[in-house]
Homo-oligomer: A and B are copies of this chain.
Amino acid sequence: MTSTSDFARLSINSATTKKWTLAQVVDGCVNAGIPAIGPWRDRVEEAGLDKAARLIKDAGLRVSSLCRGGFLTAPDAEGQAAALADNRAAILEAVALDTRELFLVVGGLAPGEKDVVAARRRVADRLADLVPFAEENGVRLVLEPLHPMYAADRALISTLGQALDLAAPFDASTVGVAVDTFHVWWDPELKAQIARAGREDRIASYQVCDFNMPIAADPLLSRGYMGDGVVDFATIGTWVRDAGYTGDIEVEIFSQEIWDTDGNTVLSTVKDRYAELVLPYA
């Protein structure tokens, strides 16, 4: 039997219940006894920032993170200025929503570009541009390594080790990293790099969902409920726990099938799977 306290660290990322408005996600979490949410900015914008913040606060929920800033690889001055402006806005939204953790999906190659080394250098440069503003506002920029199948168009950070290298020049309270099981389960360095992330005090988020096989025709939608794919939650969860992480555990699933399922049913399944596969190692 599970109890309310078992779900004390569980958070629902709003992308998991994509068809729900923010108000619906909030209601769903309250009804399900889930104490935290990780909203995407589009859902916050629809609700209006102040109203969104009030809605979440009045419901007694925690905001585990805000998704997402990033897309920092523009090669031209105009694109770079726009990216910085958007990320500064995201930092202020994180403040308004009372979360310290702002996810960054750093971006891929510019159109026609092939030079990953140069594109990654631009990520490092823009990160350096953003850090002072994040620090002033008490927000942590969370570098998320994405699975290498998204390297070209979404994130040229593909491993946790690379994210930690990129974070290294900055204080751990201002630049952190995310461990998302979907993105990193395959990494032969994962154990060592999770331990390193713990030592360096940079684990800002632990996100769980499964990597379903075969890969979906739209590779963005190949995620599944914990237990439906190939991820070893016992092993990765133990590594994250042993690294000292005690924060929220956020469930973020992009899946057409799950999006087509009633949101309350989704939350119920998430809780079951969390209790079975994640909680014992948390």
Contact = CB atoms under 8 A, between A and B. Distances in A.
Contact of A232 (B116, B188, B217): B116
A131 interface: no
Given A114-B230, A114-B231, A117-B235, A158 B211 contact: no
B211 A188 contact: no
Contacts of A191: 117
Contact of A188 (B152, B159, B186, B235): B159
Chain A's interface: helix, strand, loop or mixed, by majority? Answer: loop
A132 to B, nearest CB: 26
B188 A120 contact: yes
A188 B215 contact: no
Given A211-B152, A219-B215, A235-B117, A109 B230 contact: yes
B186 A148 contact: yes
A235 B159 contact: no
Q: Which 8 A-B pairs have the closest CB atoms?
A: A151-B186, A217-B217, A114-B232, A162-B188, A148-B186, A152-B230, A149-B149, A148-B148
Interface of A: 109, 114-117, 120, 147-149, 151-153, 156-159, 161-162, 165, 185-188, 191, 211, 213-215, 217, 219, 230-232, 235
